[in-house]
Amino acid sequence: MRTRSDYTLRVLVEKIIELGVSDHVGGFLQDVLRHMGERSPYRGGQELVSLLRYAEAAAREEQDVLTSERIEDALAYVMNTMLRPDIEIKYQLFPGSRQSTLRFLRSTFDQLGKFLLLSVRQLLNDNPTASVADIQAHLAEFFESAAAMSEDEEQAGHYRILRGGRETSAWLREVLTNRLAIEWAAAPDSQAAAPDPDEVGQLSVGELVRLAQIRARAAGLQALTCAVHNPHSSEHDLQRALESNLWIFGGSYLPSLGRRRLVAGDELDLPLLRPDGSLHVVELKKANVGILTRQRRGLIPNAEVHRAVGQVMNYLLALDENRARILDRHRVDVRRATAAVVIGHPRFQPAVEEADMNEVLRTYSSHLGRIEVITYKQLLDGADRALSLA
């Protein structure tokens, strides 16, 4: 069987390592990267398949289900049984790939709908007595022929019906045929509903700006929700989704400070400024991680939470010790700096009730003073409530 080895595969293997693997599995994956090489043309062949299979077997032996699944996807991609768009979307390999794919699907669906309406109108013009069965047969013929469309070699920009095998076309056909769910909302909500054109024409400039802001925030919240719910999202993926949607943390913060390294050796994920000039640090951890463990008859935060809080404590200590220099150079008062750790999500620890998780973290945070620990679910719920009141 023909195999492939390209830049997408290399980024995927690096992403699997970034998401966390054992030293044993990581050694096999490093062997994969060394075999491929650092630039195109990347080496592939049976040796690449064997190395990935060794890594998958090692992950399965360690009962690391997620890593095993990710390496299996890499194998499927190498062996051409998984399409490139699926890999790039599932693992968010390139910035903006999810949004550009969604725009592509929206545009395709819009143009497809217009073409179908035109086709049906032409049929009715030619045959005014056409029945529903005639229209159905006409549409069936259209969809059967669509799979055979290709570009006309003689006329640039013209197309004809031939059998084609482009990967993007195959992926698009799969999406439209098997993955597009059409649902009817009982009542459109305020941020998702399209405004009536007549009503828009009567709005003031300020109201139009406000409407555009609400719709942009709704789209940003939806993109962040997709990233949080994706079990393959890394901390970097979540940070990228949040950087353009800082309103989610509440209206009491100014835009991002823009400078993440205030102290040598420490890089802050999201440094936010309050209107009074004081600093609030947001430390982002993975959503797909368990954060509670059972201790006797109760629940307590586990080592993942303690490590994250300890890391933030060191940040605050370093900021306190360098307060005068930071105030003089950056005009930021870090003496009263506070911090939040965002980690975990109830969907990734289903054995624990969401209410119990929230209560344990609330009690834990009450003893920390300047640090609050919340889940991504709490962050998303707060943003959704704020948006619904806008």
Q: What is the pLDDT of residues 209-222, one digit of tens each?
A: 788 888 888 888 98
Beta strand 333-342 pairing with 278-284: parallel
Output Rg (C-alpha) for the chain, integer angstroms. 26
Distance in angstroms (rounded) separating the CA atoms of residues 13 and 6: 11
pLDDT for 344 equals: 96
At residue 160 the predicted structure's pLDDT band, cuts being 50, 70 and 90, is low
Distance in angstroms (rounded) separating the CA atoms of residues 257 and 254: 8
Specify burial of residue 199 (Cβ count, 10 A radius: 0-12, 13-18, 19+). Answer: exposed
The whole-angstrom distance between residue 102's C-alpha and the CA centroid of its chain comes to 12
Region 117-137 average pLDDT: 86
Region 216-229 average pLDDT: 90
Distance in angstroms (rounded) separating the CA atoms of residues 119 and 201: 32
Region 105-113 average pLDDT: 80
Residue corresponding to tokens 């003089």: 328
Q: What six digits make up the tokens of 336? A: 């009263």
Distance in angstroms (rounded) separating the CA atoms of residues 70 and 15: 9
At residue 188 the predicted structure's pLDDT band, cuts being 50, 70 and 90, is very low
Region 166-183 average pLDDT: 68
At residue 100 the predicted structure's pLDDT band, cuts being 50, 70 and 90, is confident
Distance in angstroms (rounded) separating the CA atoms of residues 258 and 211: 27
Q: Dihedral sign, CA of 68, 71, 73, 78?
A: negative
Of 300 and 137, more confident: 300
Give the whole-number percent of the chain exceeding pLDDT 70.
83
Distance in angstroms (rounded) separating the CA atoms of residues 355 and 361: 10
pLDDT digits (tens, 9 = 90+) for 257-310: 666 678 877 888 888 888 777 888 999 999 999 999 998 888 999 999 999 999
Of 162 and 277, more confident: 277
Residue type, 209: V
Angle, alpha carbons 193-197-200 (nearest 5°): 85
pLDDT for 165 equals: 46
Q: Report which listed range, 56-65, 110-119, 155-164, 269-278, is most confident.
A: 56-65
Q: Report which listed range, 8-12, 91-95, 143-147, is most confident.
A: 8-12
At residue 24 the predicted structure's pLDDT band, cuts being 50, 70 and 90, is very high
Q: What six digits make up the tokens of 308? A: 């994250």
Q: Over 90: is that where the pLDDT of 77 sits?
A: yes
Region 123-152 average pLDDT: 75
Contacts of 250 (CB under 8 A, 6+ apart): 382, 386
Long-range pairs for 34-38: beta carbons < 8 A, 24 or more residues apart: 36/5, 36/9, 36/10
Backbone angles phi, psi at 337, to 5 degrees: -65, 140
- The reported pTM is 0.75
Distance in angstroms (rounded) separating the CA atoms of residues 121 and 79: 44
Region 157-174 average pLDDT: 58
Q: What six digits make up the tokens of 314? A: 């060191």
Cβ distance 149 to 162 under 8 Å? Answer: yes
Region 114-126 average pLDDT: 85
Residue corresponding to tokens 């195999």: 3
Judged by average pLDDT, the poorest of 39-48, 241-250, 293-302 is: 241-250
pLDDT for 190 equals: 43
Judged by average pLDDT, the poorest of 32-46, 155-169, 319-333, 336-350 is: 155-169
Distance in angstroms (rounded) separating the CA atoms of residues 288 and 256: 25
Region 131-156 average pLDDT: 69
pLDDT for 179 equals: 74
Maximum C-alpha span of the chain:
85
Give the whole-number percent of the chain exceeding pLDDT 90.
44
Cβ distance 57 to 19 under 8 Å? Answer: no
Region 180-191 average pLDDT: 56
| Closest alpha carbon to 10 in 28, 26, 34 | 34
Q: Where are the domains of the chain?
A: 7-90, 96-128, 228-389
Residue ranges of E strands in the chain: 149-151, 159-161, 270-273, 278-284, 292-295, 298-301, 333-342, 371-374
Instruction: Domain 228-389: state its class.
Output: alpha beta
Q: Is 379 helix (H, G, I), strand (E, B) or coil?
A: helix
Region 359-373 average pLDDT: 94
- Mean per-residue pLDDT over the chain, rounded: 84
The whole-angstrom distance between residue 157's C-alpha and the CA centroid of its chain comes to 34
| Closest alpha carbon to 215 in 207, 204, 203, 205 | 207
Distance in angstroms (rounded) separating the CA atoms of residues 275 and 273: 7
First to last CA, the chain: 56
Q: Over 70: is that where the pLDDT of 255 sits?
A: no
pLDDT for 350 equals: 94
pLDDT for 236 equals: 92
Cβ distance 308 to 283 under 8 Å? Answer: yes
pLDDT for 128 equals: 87
